[in-house]
Every structure is written in structure tokens, then in C-alpha cells.
Structure 1
Amino acid sequence: MGGGGVKTLDTAYVKPGKAAAAAGRRECQLVTFDLPYLAFFYNQKLLVYAAEDVAGGGFDGVVGRLKEGLAAALEEFYQLAGRLEKDEEGVFRVAYDDDMEGAEIVTAAAEEVAVGEVAAEEGTLKLKELLPYNGVLNLEGLHRPLLAVQLTKLKDGVAIGCAFNHAVLDGTATWHFMTSWAELCRGAHSISVPPFLERTKARNTRVKLNLSKPSDAPEHANSASTESNGDAAPPALREKVFKFPESAVDQIKSKLNSAAAAAGDSKPFSTFQSLSAHIWQAVSRARRLAAEEYTVFTVFADCRKRVDPPMPETYFGNLIQAIFTVTAAGLVLSNPAEFAAGLIRSAIESHDSAAITKRNEEWEKNPIIFQYKDAGVNCVAVGSSPRFKVYDVDFGFGPPETVRSGSNNRFDGMVYLYPGKTGGRSIDVEISLDPKAMELLEKDKEFLFMDA
């Protein structure tokens, strides 16, 4: 981005409206689906909006409207206004009462930076100043707000940077909150789809953890928290957004399914399975992996409809699990894409309620807090989803120009999928890779699907 830098103007806190205070203190136990994320970092999302009136004298009005809407949204999503706590037995919970500060809101200005510059930016390190809580572990939610927002006035718009404590919610819950907040800012008197807050309905085992401060987290995660806050050199990664238009997505899926059908596989692959196989093959090529080297494909799968009984789409919390597929790189590279797609499909389909319960029971017997990059060797790990309606987050000045993930929780092979701004079935693929591999991926015509 061009010069100017970001200047902090003010830091304030927003509490839920009076009704939440009248309800008194409320607590909800963190469950097995939540706890593994304590040693991850806050989950960061950046939304950038083009609006001349926002950039002009209207910025203060916009800040006021966003704060007012946030207070109303936190009436329903009150857990985001609370803190993490441990009860007398060492079980983590999220608690809220009116004595707590609420969500943190920073206002800032970068008036020489244009929306177009931010939208065109590839590397998240340059976007870092627009996002709060860089390098902050979720465990710090014992002492910090669980939601932090930075509103930055740009030359011709506004950037809304959010940091969510990942031990409290997953991507589905994040975007449910964001669309609800935006709905209220557009003038709705109440949100149209309230959250389902009873997370113990999904799992009610009490797990005691000996974690009280960041230094109790695994040493590798603890040291990693310095990577993004200037105390140590950031990892040598490059990030890039590859935009796949609807035509390319359709051709990737059609080509793969036609070949699979010709080979006798009558069950069609989904868009996600097809694109994931396409990415896995291409990244393995770019890494120049030897045939005998292992490679892992990891997807953070939504378990709301997989658990027994199923949970509603509005379930607020984490209801995801990582699903791993391991094979030799030579098999991914020498076989057509439907081989990799078949492995991914098999792993996803076998992750039913019995598999989820088994995973939970094993973890509860030996609760290991993983670091954010424990996804496996030569890994491709997919987070976010093109099903998230990120371009529906309209606060009253139109849809965002771009939606990005921050620098937290990134490692070599991390992939975020978002719907494309052009709509339809277009998908943006945000990838972090070793610079040498990224250079090869950028030149890979098969990956870029140049005939689309």
C-alpha cells in the first residue's frame, strides 16, 4: 500500500444494550469443540468498503452508527462481550456481566491509502495495520475482550478489521454475527436470525485444562505469537489471492466428473471436492515434492449437521473438526485429479456422528492443545468457505470491495476460500506458501485453468 501509515485516533468499548445488563451475569461452558483452539491466535477478518461520504465528514457518523449497531447485536451475541474464565475445577467458560468492558473498538485513519490499494494488496503483512490483535493468542481472552474491531478511515472509504477469539466461535458463527450486526446498522429493529447459544447441547463433557496464561500454551505456539507483533522476523511466506471465475470453477468440476464417470465412478464430486483436489495437486507440483514424500490435505469441516442430534445452522460456538487425508505425493501427482478428489470425499463422508464422537472421546481422555499449524507435513489446509455470504455484510454503504483474512493463524499451505465478488459460483482462493513454491504456482497454467 502507498504511504501514509495508520494513525490510531481513539480506543473505546461497546457493551450490549440495557436488556443484557438487566439479565445479570451469564455463563456458558466451553466444550470439546472449542477448547483445542485456545493456543490458536484470534481469527482476523478485514472488510473494505468504498464510500466517499464515509471518507469525508461522514466518518464520525459511520463510527457512531456501527457502535450503536454493535451494542444492539451484542444483546443477542452477548458472549462476544464477555471474557474467558476458569471455574473452580479448571473448566473453561465464557462469561458476561455488566461489569466487563465489552468489545474493543479502535478508530484510526489512513487517509492517504485508497480502497483500491487495499483491495489489490496480496500480502497480509501490509494489511496488518488495519487489523487488531496481531499475534494475540486466544488464551489471552482471560484478560482481553473476545471481540476487537478497528474502524479505519481511508482516502475513499473505510476498512473494518475484526479479531474474534477462536475459542468462542468458528467461521459459520462469525459470519452469522457479521451479517446480523450489518442488518441492525441498516435500520432493522432486531436481527432476523437469533443465535443458538446453548453450546453444551452439542457436547457436555467437562474437560479440565491446566492453562491460565499464554506461557502455559505449547512453547511453539507461544513463541509463534511474536511473529506478527514485531518481536521477531515473520515467517518467510508469500500470500496471493487467485480469483477463479464461475467459468473456471465449472470447468474444473465438469472435467473432473467427466473423467471420473468414464472410469466408472457414477457419484459426482462437489464443487468443494473438485476445487480442493485441483489446489492440492497444484501446490504439490509447486513444492516439487518427491514421489515418496507424504502430503496431507486438511479441511476444517462444519459438524452442525453431522452430530447426533444435529445442531441448528445458528449454533453459536465452534462446531468444526479438522479432517485429515494423508497420502504419498507421487500418488497425488501421477494420478488424475479425481484420485485426490476421491480421497477428500471419502475422508469427509466418513466423518459422521460416530467418528466425531470417537474423536471427542479420545481428546477428552488426553486433551492435547495443538498449535495453529499442526496440520501435517507438506500440508494443504482449507479454512473458511465459499458458502459464507461475506458480500452480504452491508452496513448501509454497500457490499465490501474485498474480504480478506489477517496474518494470524497462517502457515505454509494455509488456504482460505471465499465467494468471488463477481457472484455466482466464482471463488477466491487465498493461499500462503513458501516463496519459491508460490513463484511456480503463479506460472502454473494448469492450475490457473487458462482455457476457462
Structure 2
Amino acid sequence: MMQNNPCQVNIISECFIKPKHRFDDSKQIHYLAPDDLIMLSLHYIHKGLLFNKPPGFDSVAFAHKLKRSLSIALLHFHPLAGCLATKKYADEHCSWIYVDSNKGPGARFILAQTDSLTMSLSNILSSFSDVVPLTRTLFDLGERGIVNYDGHYRALLSVQVTQLVDGVFVGFTMNHSVADATTLWHFIETLSEIYDLDATNSCPAMISRVPMYRTSFPEGISPNIKLPYVHPDEFISRFDLGVQLRKRIFQFSAETIASLETKVIAECSNDSISISPFNCLAALVWKSITKARNEPYDMLTTCYLVVNSRPHYNPPLCQEYFGNYSMMARGQCKTGQLHENSLGWAAMVLEQAVKAQDDQAARAAFKSYVKSPFVAQPGWSSSTFGSNGPIIIGGLPSRFDMNEPRFGLGRTIAVRDGQTNKDDGKVMANPGRDGGRSVELEICLTADTMISLLLDQDFMSYVS
């Protein structure tokens, strides 16, 4: 029976999907590394794919085939089939948190439908308005207060298929203490590959990119990393920003990215350093948001880039390594310096910050965490810095081919994020709907800052 939802999304059916069989001892326990444990008090990842609705689309038949494919995909991504578990050491006042792949109900699957008057492709794709609040209903576990620690009793992975008036949205929700966006994209592409092969339960699909798992931690460090807490109240907080943020999508075409790159190269005096196209765009965003905030010239301004650390190790790790592998590259200077210097100068600052995140830095961060483990808290930038918090740019726009057909629905029209992990100054990058090197940025700012950014002709001249 269809259940009514106050957010005008009707749940048609829901269930939990398990892999075909229980995992053996070698796969049952999945150890969490520092980059995983630090995320326990933060939010799940939300990524969703928007498609045109094919003629004669049958949502029930589509869901049935996707659930069958999901049960096979979980054989390869076995931690996502389980749930978090904790072993406490009261006499040491610490605890060990890990993933039990055989515990829990499996991955959650939801089939839903929006009210015909509330959501269509045009609502989601509009570049002339803020992100539609109803977007959060297209993902599971999007309600306030849900954090990764809740993976002890909530699914580590959820898939929600929502039928729109003229489209189909497939929303993925993944526990961020178990894996990062690179792993999520890998999972989405594998699930689509299995679906397109029309694999059956009697024949597990052979996939083209098999997930890789840690077999040991660096230099003999025990994988049993104990956190200095016993009760979750000691390290889990459900932070409410208390500030009304505006979230808006800005599109940048491949031609715009190329022109930014040309401009940056012309302005850089050091020809020996190459600057990535994405860092050119990040520099524009850093300068523009800082200008829109109208901060004092003697104040520090900071831009963090979330860096996928897999290729930064020596030897590099392949992109198929499962888990969280990320570092924060920090560009920082006085606001006056950022205003007075060129876009090329800002891009150079960010490029050098990224290059500093090398093998030595990654291993040093790992060792430092093991000596003094902690759990990051949500909303730290707002609570620490107020309205002058850092700009944090994340996302993997170059790792997803928009033109590749998926789930029998054709090319992806757009990628959208949910409402989680949002803070003033947070920027999420996704591949642009035009494919190639085009990029879409979801920028979250306070209302006053967003108005100033929209009135900035220099910035808006680059927006498609």
C-alpha cells in the first residue's frame, strides 16, 4: 500500500537486500582506518543520478531487476551488507568500532513516487533558483540528526528509486565511516554494470573493477584502533547549524574551464608548475566567496580541497581501494593578499597545497591519528569560525562519465547531492550535464553572502 509522506514523496515499497550467502571469516570483519573512524559523528554521503523517464517505464519491474543486481553487487562490496559493531574495554576506557559484514538486515531499498504537482525534471535542473528543498526526500536517511555512528542500527547503504512526473531519480546513501565518494562512484558503476549484464542470482556477475581491501596497516600498526571513549555521548553530537543556508547549483562549461586554465597559465610566473583545471576553478570560487563575504583585509581566509589520497601514496594505490582515503589540502592567506593578487596566484597556492599532500604527509597523518585518535564533529567550521569559516571544496567531477548509459535508462542528465554535510562555505563538485570537462558546483552560503555572489559580475561571467 502507498504511504503518504509530509514531504510529498510516496513510498510504494521498501525492503532490505542481502547478498546471496554469508561471508566467510576473512570477510566478516572489516577494520576501520583513521580516515574512517574520524567520520563517525559526521553524516552519510548522498549522491543521486537523474534520468529521463523512458517510454513505457515500469517502476516495479525496474526495481525488481535493480534489487537482484544489488544482491550480487554486495558480494563484491561486502562491508556495505553489514553494520557497525563496537567492542568496549571499560577498564581502559576505550572502544573498538568495526564493520561486521554478516550482521544486520543488509542494504535498504526504497521504491517511491513524487506527487505529480511537486517534482519534475525542470524543478531539479533549474539554474535560476536555489536547490529545491524536496531534493532531500529523494534520499534515504536524509533526516536531521542521523550520523555515521548510527550505522550500528541503520543500513550502511540505501538505494532509493523515485519516479518523477517525467524522470527517474536513483539516490544512493552510503555511510561515510565505511567509504568515501570514490568508493561510492565505484559501487554505482559496478551496480550499473551488473544491471546491464542482466545477471541472475544463480550466476554472480564477473565485474570489470574488483574492490581492493586493506590487508594490513602501515608499518605493523594494529588494525584494532581503539577510540578513547566508552559511551557514544562522549564523541557523538548531532549539531544543528541554526543558520538558514542557501544552496545553489552553478554550471561551468568545458569551454569556461579551458578559459580559466588559459588565464591562470598566463598569470603564473612559475612555468615549471602545472596547475590542474579543477584547481583553477577552485581558485575562482575561493576568491569570489571571500569577496562576497566582505571580510576585513587583515583576516585569514582558508580554502580546503578534499584530496583523494590513493594516487598520492608511494607506490600509488589503485582507485578500487575500498574505504576512506582522503586528505585536506589547505590554501591560506590574508584576505587582502587574495584580493590584491591574481587568479593565477590563488590557483598556485592551492596547487602547491595539493602537491604537499604526498606519501610522507599521508603516512604521518596516519601515525599521528593512531597515537591520538579522535572523532570530528559536525558543524565545526561554523562553530569555530562563525560566518568567516573556511571554504571546503569536495567532489570528484572527473571520475564519472555523464554520457555512459546506466541501468537501461540512457545517459545521466544530472548528478545531485542530498542535504547532508552542508555548512556555510561548503562546495560540492559534480560532473556537468554537458559531459566532458564541464562541472556543476553546489555552493552553500548564508543568504547575504549568496546574494553578493550572485551580484558579482566577474564570477557570474564564468557561469554557464
1:287-298 correspondence to structure 2 within 5 Å: 287-298=293-304
1:8-407 correspondence to structure 2 within 5 Å: 8-18=11-21, 20=22, 26-53=28-55, 56=57, 58-87=58-87, 90-97=95-102, 100-112=104-116, 113-120=119-126, 122-123=130-131, 125-134=133-142, 135=144, 136-187=146-197, 189-198=205-214, 200-201=216-217, 204-205=221-222, 206-210=224-228, 215-218=233-236, 221-224=237-240, 235-260=243-268, 263-375=269-381, 377-389=388-400, 391=402, 392=404, 394-407=406-419
Q: 1:451 offset after TM fit, Å? A: 9.8
Question: Any conservation in 2 of the 1:140–1:214 contact (CA below 8 Å)?
Answer: no
In the aligned structure 2, how far is the partner of 1:32 from the partner of 1:348? 20
- CA offsets per residue over residues 37-83 of structure 1, 9 Å max, x none? 111111111222211446x5x11001101101111111101111111
In the aligned structure 1, how far is the partner of 2:373 from the partner of 2:123? 44
Question: Any conservation in 2 of the 1:210–1:216 contact (CA below 8 Å)?
Answer: no
Q: 1:448 offset after TM fit, Å? A: 2.3
One-letter amino acid matched to 1:106: I
The secondary structure found in structure 2 opposite 1:34 is: helix
Q: 1:449 offset after TM fit, Å? A: 2.9
- CA offsets per residue over residues 400-440 of structure 1, 9 Å max, x none? 22111111000011111112111222111111011111111
One-letter amino acid matched to 1:379: P
The secondary structure found in structure 2 opposite 1:91 is: strand
Question: Any conservation in 2 of the 1:4–1:111 contact (CA below 8 Å)?
Answer: no
In the aligned structure 1, how far is the partner of 2:286 from the partner of 2:62? 42
One-letter amino acid matched to 2:431: P
In the aligned structure 2, how far is the partner of 1:397 from the partner of 1:93? 36
In the aligned structure 2, how far is the partner of 1:308 from the partner of 1:52? 46
State the partner residue of 1:433. 445
In the aligned structure 1, how far is the partner of 2:59 from the partner of 2:24? 32
After TM superposition, the score normalised by the length of structure 1 is 0.90
Question: Any conservation in 2 of the 1:38–1:137 contact (CA below 8 Å)?
Answer: yes
In the aligned structure 2, how far is the partner of 1:363 from the partner of 1:448? 41
- CA offsets per residue over residues 257-290 of structure 1, 9 Å max, x none? 1121xx3544232102211111100111111111
Q: 1:29 offset after TM fit, Å? A: 0.9
Question: Any conservation in 2 of the 1:31–1:199 contact (CA below 8 Å)?
Answer: no
- CA offsets per residue over residues 206-243 of structure 1, 9 Å max, x none? 3211456653335xx4233xx7xxxxxx6311111111
Question: Any conservation in 2 of the 1:175–1:390 contact (CA below 8 Å)?
Answer: no
Question: Any conservation in 2 of the 1:273–1:344 contact (CA below 8 Å)?
Answer: yes
The secondary structure found in structure 1 opposite 2:40 is: helix
In structure 2, stretches of 5+ residues that fail to align are 1-5, 90-94, 199-204
Q: 1:364 offset after TM fit, Å? A: 2.0
After TM superposition, the score normalised by the length of structure 2 is 0.87
Question: Any conservation in 1 of the 2:288–2:459 contact (CA below 8 Å)?
Answer: yes
One-letter amino acid matched to 1:103: A
State the partner residue of 1:231. none
The secondary structure found in structure 1 opposite 2:410 is: coil
Q: 1:21 offset after TM fit, Å? A: 5.0
Question: Any conservation in 1 of the 2:138–2:169 contact (CA below 8 Å)?
Answer: yes
Q: 1:354 offset after TM fit, Å? A: 1.3
Question: Any conservation in 1 of the 2:228–2:373 contact (CA below 8 Å)?
Answer: no
Q: Judging changes above 3 Å, is the alpha-carbon distance between structure 1 residues 12 and 419 closer, same or farther for their aligned structure 2 residues?
A: same
Q: 1:116 offset after TM fit, Å? A: 2.5
Q: Judging changes above 3 Å, is the alpha-carbon distance between structure 1 residues 48 and 199 closer, same or farther for their aligned structure 2 residues?
A: farther
State the partner residue of 2:92. none
Q: Which moved more, 1:6-15 or 1:303-312?
A: 303-312
Aligned length: 434
The secondary structure found in structure 1 opposite 2:397 is: coil
Q: Judging changes above 3 Å, is the alpha-carbon distance between structure 1 residues 209 and 431 closer, same or farther for their aligned structure 2 residues?
A: same
Q: Judging changes above 3 Å, is the alpha-carbon distance between structure 1 residues 276 and 202 closer, same or farther for their aligned structure 2 residues?
A: farther
- CA offsets per residue over residues 195-215 of structure 1, 9 Å max, x none? 002264568443211456653
